[in-house]
A = this chain, B = another copy of it.
């Protein structure tokens, strides 16, 4: 039997803290009994919840922490107040010192990314981390990154994201050569920003081990045109939240339309199972969890407002990443990659090689 998957949980993160996080962890444990948890947070509060969850208790170790990173703390504040001693930091630290294989937190994204980046550092060959989201599509699911780790992206970091997103798609979707598209505002070659066009050229011509599809537009995400959509964090975050907003809006239209007349309400009762299917399709909890890619260790961000089922989906995601060796696959892709061309080498590298 393979080794258990060791998951570090920031038990204090999210809008509801241990009362949601711990039942969520237990749901995931039910699906993956070979999980061991390290629970970081207020010991008394954690124990109070664990009392009602004996299975989770049996698979967990509690590590008491005093400090909680607030949902509204700025990243710099969080680092100043929470370094070394907050539940969030300690969960990340467990990954750093190899006590855990992955950390999961529903805490504030900016603080989590700042701490993870500060403590785990970027992988060799990766210039900066990205947040990858799972996006339900008409063809199943796709991965979209970056949805908000940083604003703007060089051609080099877009190419790195293509490599990392491909590795994640291989892990999650069990595909050999997932297709990758660069998000742009037109499909013609001449459109878009310089960095995106340059990234397209590198992905096409420079032997990067990525199945590059070409440019895709906003509507291609939901259509599932490609398995991996790559963009810089500002546009990616706006796309993600716009889609969430549109889904909510249409659900509200649907509710209103179905309640409008007696006949419609009756029709709704008859079609209830169908609506249940639709509701599940539209359920944001099914794909809850952003994956921080590009660091020396895996960190999963759950939505702060997620309920137990939602948090469980984020824990599942962490489990899958470890079980299917995401880190090793990314490293392998980076090694398989041919030497980067002049145009994307850092000045330092070029200088070290005596070429400038």
**Interface residues in chain A, defined as those with a beta carbon under 8 Å from any beta carbon in chain B:** 72, 74, 110, 137-138, 148, 151-152, 183, 185-186, 188, 190-193, 217-223, 231, 233-235, 237-250, 252-254, 256-258, 260-261, 263-264, 266-275, 277-278, 281-282
Contacts and interface: CB of A to CB of B under 8 A. Distances in A.
A258 B281 contact: no
Given A245-B218, A267-B269, A234 B274 contact: no
A238 B237 contact: no
B271 A263 contact: yes
Contacts of A223: 245, 248-249
Given A151-B192, A193-B151, A282-B250, A218 B234 contact: no
B278 A274 contact: no
28 contacts: A74-B190, A137-B249, A151-B192, A185-B237, A192-B234, A217-B238, A218-B239, A218-B240, A218-B243, A221-B242, A221-B245, A223-B249, A234-B235, A242-B242, A243-B246, A254-B278, A257-B277, A257-B278, A257-B281, A258-B271, A258-B274, A261-B273, A263-B270, A266-B267, A266-B270, A267-B270, A267-B274, A268-B271
A248 B263 contact: no
Count identical subunits in the complex.
Answer: 2
Contacts of A281: 253, 257
Contacts of A264: 270-271, 273-274
Contact of A234 (B185, B188, B253): B185
Nearest to A242: B218
Given A72-B188, A273-B264, A242 B239 contact: yes
Contacts of A221: 242, 245
Given A190-B74, A257-B278, A243 B243 contact: yes
A194 B277 CA distance: 44
B241 A238 contact: no
Contacts of A278: 253-254, 257
B193 A219 contact: no
Contact of A248 (B148, B219, B254, B269): B219
B273 A263 contact: yes
Nearest to A262: B270
B260 A237 contact: no
A188 B110 CA distance: 11
Contacts of A191: 110
A72 B190 CA distance: 12
Contacts of A188: 72, 74
B245 A193 contact: no
A256 to B, nearest CB: 8
A220 B237 CA distance: 13
A247 B250 contact: yes
Contacts of A231: 238
B275 A257 contact: yes
B254 A254 contact: yes
Contacts of A190: 74
A185 B247 contact: no
Nearest to A281: B253
B233 A261 contact: no
A81 to B, nearest CB: 16
Given A234-B185, A267-B267, A246 B222 contact: yes
B250 A237 contact: no
